Amino acid sequence: MKNPFDVLEQNSLNYKLTPISFREIFFIAEAPCDIYAQVDGLLKVVLHKKAEISTPVLKELLQKKLANLFVIEDDRNLLKLAQQDNLTSVTRSLSIGDPLEKARLQTNLLTLNMGYLYEDPTDDNNLNLQVQSAKNLATFLFNKPQIHEALYKEFIKQGHHYIFAQPFLSTLFLLGVMKNSRLYIDKDIELFFLTSYFKDIGMSAIPVEKYNDDHLTDDDKKLLASHPQLSVNILKGRVPLPPNHLKIIENHHIYSTLTNQMNLSSKDDPNNIFGFETMMISVMDTVAAMTTDRPFRKAESLYKSLDLIRLLIGEQYPQEFKLIVFYFKNFFKSL
> In the bound complex, what is the minimum distance in angstroms from residue 106's beta carbon to Fe ion?
23
Q: How far is CA 130 from CA 20, 192, 262, in A?
A: 20, 15, 30
Q: Between 265 and 330, whose beta carbon lies closer to Fe ion?
A: 265
Q: Between 13 and 216, whose beta carbon lies closer to Fe ion?
A: 216
Identify the CA nearest to 106 among candidates 90, 129, 128, 89. 90
> In the bound complex, what is the minimum distance in angstroms from residue 219's beta carbon to Fe ion?
18
- Distance (Å, whole) CA 281 – CA 300: 19
Q: Between 23 and 252, whose beta carbon lies closer to Fe ion?
A: 252
Interface with Fe ion by CB under 5 A: which range of 136-144, 158-166, 193-201, 293-301? 193-201
Q: Using CB atoms, what's the residue nearest to Fe ion?
A: 200
Q: Between 14 and 265, whose beta carbon lies closer to Fe ion?
A: 265
Q: Between 83 and 291, whose beta carbon lies closer to Fe ion?
A: 291
Q: Between 51 and 308, whose beta carbon lies closer to Fe ion?
A: 308
> In the bound complex, what is the minimum distance in angstroms from residue 235's beta carbon to Fe ion?
13
- Distance (Å, whole) CA 203 – CA 258: 12
Interface with Fe ion by CB under 5 A: which range of 44-52, 147-155, 196-204, 303-311? 196-204
> In the bound complex, what is the minimum distance in angstroms from residue 252's beta carbon to Fe ion?
6
Size of the site for Fe ion (CB under 5 A): 1
Candidates 200, 277, 300, 320; binder of Fe ion (CB under 5 A) is 200
**Contacts of range 211-218, beta carbons closer than 8 Å, 24 or more positions apart:** 211/161, 211/162, 211/163, 211/295, 212/295, 212/296, 213/295, 213/296, 214/296, 214/297
- Is 165 a binding residue for Fe ion by CB under 5 A? The answer is no
Interface with Fe ion by CB under 5 A: which range of 51-59, 106-114, 130-138, 198-206? 198-206
Sequential DSSP letters for 154-218: HHHHT---HHHHHHHHHHHHHHHHHHHHT---HHHHHHHHHHHHHTTGGGGGS-GGGGGSS---H
- The CB-side HSE value for 31 (13 A sphere, CA atoms) comes to 21
Q: How far is CA 53 from CA 35, 82, 147, 176, 226, in A?
A: 11, 13, 29, 36, 41
Interface with Fe ion by CB under 5 A: which range of 28-36, 98-106, 192-200, 272-280? 192-200
Q: Between 200 and 277, whose beta carbon lies closer to Fe ion?
A: 200
Binding site for Fe ion (CB under 5 A): 200
